[in-house]
Amino acid sequence: MLYIDGEWRGARSGRSFEVTNPATGEPIGDVADGTREDAAAAISAAAEAFAAWSQLTAFERSDTLHRAYTLMMERREALARLMTEEQGKPLRAARNEVQYAADFFLWYAEEAKRVYGDVLPAPRPDQRFMVLHQPVGVVGAITPWNYPVSMITRKVAPALAAGCTIVLKPAEQTPLCAMEVFNVIHDAGIPAGVANLIPTADPAPIGEELVSNPHVAKITFTGSTEVGTMLAGRAAANMKRLSLELGGHAPFIVFSDADPVYAAKGASLVKFLNTGQACISPNRMYVHRSIAAEFLTALETRVGGMRAGNGLEDGISIGPLVDAPSLEKVDRQVKDAVAKGAQLRTGGSRLTSNGLDRGFFYSPTVLSGVTPEMEIYSNETFGPVAPVIEFEDEQEVLSLANDTHYGLAAYVYTEDLRLAMRMFEGLDYGIIGINDINPTAAAAPFGGMKHSGIGREGGREGIAEYLETKLGGFSI
Q: Which amino acids are annotated catalytic?
A: 245, 279
Is residue 188 a contact partner of residue 64, using CB atoms and an 8 Å limit?
Answer: yes
Beta-bridge partner residues of 467: 135
Q: Give the ranges where 274-374 is alpha helix by DSSP (H).
A: 292-304, 324-339
How many Å apart are CA 192 and CA 210, to the nearest integer? 19
Q: Do residues 43 and 49 make contact, with C-beta atoms less than 8 angstroms apart?
A: no
46-72 CB burial, b ≥16 within 10 A, e <16 = bbbbbeebbebebeebbbbbbbbbebb
Burial 77-98 (b: 16+ CB within 10 A, else e): eebbbbbbbbbbbbbebbbbbb
> What's the CA gap between 252 and 266, in Å, rounded?
10
Backbone angles phi, psi at 190, to 5 degrees: -65, 135
Rounded to 5 degrees, φ, ψ at 181 are -60, -40
Query: Three-state DSSP class for 393?
Result: coil
How many angstroms separate the CA atoms of 403 and 389, rounded? 14
Identify the three-state secondary structure at position 47. helix
